[in-house]
């Protein structure tokens, strides 16, 4: 029996496993390695600081994997691409014929001096973790006056628009409570400017201050300041930090990633560069595209087809075009939809029913409804209704 092993059961790894187990010929099996007991719907994290949403964004891992998939509940201690084996903790090895690295990106609050440790999460909170988002909610419930800053670290991060959503939702919360005139909202970003222009205009309309070219910093928690390496300081009363991200620890230990432990990946086929019979999926890649669930979804759809071709002795199709899409909640029951790929920046138009780069209630309903679609259609690997992307992208959505 030959084996495809998928390292990681996040969005991409789960979709891929669920599609492959129904498509592979006799003589092939699918195994997924993941030490986590639950699956987290990561787009739902952005709402946790503003509403009690936890129960609807987590599910038991086993319930997300189809029958016939072997779930190996273990951590990976090493990857040997020559022997085609994975080392497992607390012990043992697993052999593979084809390997898919879908190990995601690690959120690293430990790389922000002052963010973790004794008395953490009093006024400074690590966003992108469930515990950090919950703690921030409790703090915002009693925050009535001062400076709420959202700070984004240097380098690639998951859900690059989520910091903006956090500020847009905070603006909505404080206006609803009648506190907005006493609270200053600030975005500290490593970028020189916020793009696309639609989002920059929204920040200006909502009177959210942008501190540009300010990335990974050190926290002075006693003085309530963020301090950049050049000495530039930004004060805060409440702070939400998007910490630096790196690839998985097992990738770093194996030395098969770049300086941040993301795996070098061919843009069109998702093959790992210089690693035969290894593919990469989702946030684990070093591809120059956003680290979004939609990317992992589109990649998994195409990679499933290519892996089936491969086991039948056919050539891979270089079909992945870097497509990503994202709903951005802007507050007040509205959202904006962005869509892009390797060759096209976000631009106006339509994607199915939804306008692009334009605030709409329809996009808000789309974002809210997508959680049900995720659990019941996307993650199980079921086909979505066909929709057409905007003309400039020139490719099907699904």
CB 4 within 8 A of CB 29: yes
pLDDT of 391 reads 36
- In what order do the strands lie in the sheet containing 98-101? 70-72, 28-33, 2-7, 98-101, 278-280
pLDDT of 393 reads 39
pLDDT of 55 reads 87
Mean pLDDT of all residues in the chain?
A: 94
State whether residue 134 is helix, strand or coil: helix
Q: What dihedral do alpha carbons 288, 291, 296, 302 form, nearest 10°?
A: -10
Closest CA to 81 of 64, 66, 98: 98
Mean pLDDT of successive 10-residue segments in the chain (398 residues)?
Answer: 97 98 97 97 96 90 97 95 94 96 96 91 95 96 97 95 97 97 98 93 97 95 95 97 96 96 98 96 97 96 97 96 96 96 92 93 96 96 64 33
What topology does CATH give the domain 2-104+248-311? FAD/NAD(P)-binding domain (3.50.50)
C-alpha 137/C-alpha 134 separation (Å) is 5
CB 242 within 8 A of CB 150: yes
Residue-range domain boundaries for the chain? 2-104+248-311, 109-244, 326-378
Exposed / middle / buried, residue 74 (Cβ in 10 Å: 0-12, 13-18, 19+): middle
pLDDT of 223 reads 96
What topology does CATH give the domain 109-244? FAD/NAD(P)-binding domain (3.50.50)
- 2-104+248-311 shares its CATH topology with 109-244: yes
Determine the distance from the C-alpha atom of residue 59 to the mean position of all C-alpha atoms in its chain, rounded to a whole number. Answer: 17
- Give tens-digit pLDDT for 118-132: 888 999 999 999 999
pLDDT of 117 reads 87
pLDDT of 388 reads 42
pLDDT of 387 reads 46
């Amino acid at each position: 029996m030959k084996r495809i092993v998928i390292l990681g059961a996040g969005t991409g790894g789960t979709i891929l496993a669920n599609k492959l187990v129904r498509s592979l010929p006799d003589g092939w099996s699918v195994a997924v390695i993941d030490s986590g007991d639950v699956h987290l719907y990561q787009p739902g994290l952005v709402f946790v600081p503003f509403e009690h949403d936890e129960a609807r964004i987590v599910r038991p891992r086993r319930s997300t994997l189809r029958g016939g998939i072997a779930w190996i509940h273990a951590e990976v201690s090493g990857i040997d691409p020559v022997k085609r084996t994975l080392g497992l903790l607390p012990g043992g090895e697993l052999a593979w014929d084809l390997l898919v690295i879908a190990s995601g990106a690690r959120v690293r609050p430990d790389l922000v001096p002052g963010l973790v440790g004794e008395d953490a999460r009093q006024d400074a909170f690590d966003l992108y973790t469930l515990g950090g988002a919950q703690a921030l909610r409790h703090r915002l419930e009693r925050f009535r006056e001062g400076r709420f800053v959202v700070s984004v670290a240097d380098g690639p991060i998951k859900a690059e628009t989520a910091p903006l959503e956090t500020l847009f939702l905070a603006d909505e919360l404080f206006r609803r409570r009648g506190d907005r005139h006493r609270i200053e909202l600030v975005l500290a970003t490593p970028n020189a400017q916020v793009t696309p222009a639609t989002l920059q205009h929204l920040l200006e309309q909502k009177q959210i201050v942008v501190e540009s070219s300010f990335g990974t910093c050190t926290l002075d928690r006693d003085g309530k300041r963020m301090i950049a390496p050049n000495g530039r300081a930004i004060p805060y009363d409440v702070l939400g930090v998007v910490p630096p991200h790196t690839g998985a620890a097992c990738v770093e230990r194996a030395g098969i990633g770049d300086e941040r432990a993301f795996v070098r990946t061919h843009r069109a086929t998702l093959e790992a560069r210089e690693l035969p019979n290894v593919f990469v999926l989702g946030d684990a890649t070093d591809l120059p595209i956003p680290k979004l669930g939609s990317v992992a979804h589109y990649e998994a759809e195409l990679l499933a087809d290519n892996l089936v071709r491969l086991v039948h002795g056919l050539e891979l199709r270089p079909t992945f075009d870097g497509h990503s899409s994202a709903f951005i909640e802007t507050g007040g029951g509205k959202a904006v939809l962005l869509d892009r790929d390797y060759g096209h920046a976000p631009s106006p138009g339509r994607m199915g029913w939804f306008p692009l780069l334009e605030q709409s209630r329809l996009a808000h309903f789309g974002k809210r409804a997508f959680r049900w679609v995720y659990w019941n259609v996307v993650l199980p690997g079921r086909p979505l209704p066909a929709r057409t992307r905007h003309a400039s992208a020139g490719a099907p959505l699904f």
